[in-house]
Chains A and B, each alone.
Chain A
Amino acid sequence: DLTPEQQSLLHYIMDSYNRQCIPQYITRKLLQEDFSAEENFLLLTEMATSHVQVLVEFTKKLPGFQTLDHEDQIALLKGSAVEAMFLRSAEIFNRKMPHGHTDLLEERIRNSGMSDDYITPMFNFYKSLEELKMTQEEYSLLTAVVILTPDRQYIKDKESVEKLQEPLLEVLQKLCQVQHPENPQHFARLLGRLTELRTFNHHHAEMLMSWRVN
């Protein structure tokens, strides 16, 4: 079982995570029917920017984050933003959004001018996460774990980051045992998805470049 300290850490992370919301004026634009390729590009860019802003707000609240060196804070966020966004998108596609919105967003992404070589693996990844039947607690903790990854480029004080990540990993591991007793491999599978996320991170720059060129 989770200790009382772990329980309160979990509730705190969940609460901060649930406050992460893209403003409605942006999501409303998604539902407007007519859109040119250029408007589509601008909307997806605006959503991504807003995504980063709410991610930073969530990150600021992670226990201990603000005690880290300022440049290390930026390096952590730069290193994890793409991965955290993919996780968040997976959650939105798999659960959070009303059904019609998800279809529209998928259509817009597929018509965005990005190559299918990038889009197909992305939707496959969303599907592979869906099969894990992750709870919102797991999404929130996994996102925090992703952000507080010590071995990102340019981190000077890896040890301090490790110290912040460890308790979150412990809670996540226990939670997996409690919520998926039928599947003892659940925690290992979640960590496996993190490796996949890293691949997306590496391809993201090329993807944006090809998108812009198109």
Chain B
Amino acid sequence: PASNLGLEDIIRKALMGNFDD
């Protein structure tokens, strides 16, 4: 789940537009 991701992971995923993966 998202709560286990660090800030950088969240940013990278959101920048790539594939946060739901």
Seen from chain A, the residues whose Cβ lies within 8 Å of a Cβ on chain B are 42, 45-46, 49-50, 52-53, 56-57, 60, 70, 73-74, 77-78, 81
Contact = CB atoms under 8 A, between A and B. Distances in A.
19 contacts: A45-B2, A49-B2, A49-B3, A49-B5, A52-B7, A53-B10, A53-B14, A56-B10, A56-B14, A57-B14, A73-B15, A74-B8, A74-B11, A74-B15, A77-B15, A78-B7, A78-B11, A81-B7, A81-B11
The bracket for how many chain B residues form the interface is 10 to 19
A192 to B, nearest CB: 26
A56 B2 CA distance: 15
A136 to B, nearest CB: 23
A73 B3 CA distance: 22
A78 B6 CA distance: 10
Contacts of A70: 15
Given A46-B2, A46-B3, A74-B8, A53 B15 contact: no
A45 B15 contact: no
A37 B6 CA distance: 21
B14 A74 contact: no
A52 B3 contact: no
A36 to B, nearest CB: 15
B15 to A, nearest CB: 6
A214 to B, nearest CB: 16
B8 A78 contact: yes
A78 B15 CA distance: 12
Nearest to B3: A45
B3 to A, nearest CB: 4
Contacts of B3: 42, 45-46, 49
Given A45-B3, A46-B2, A52 B10 contact: yes
Nearest to A56: B14
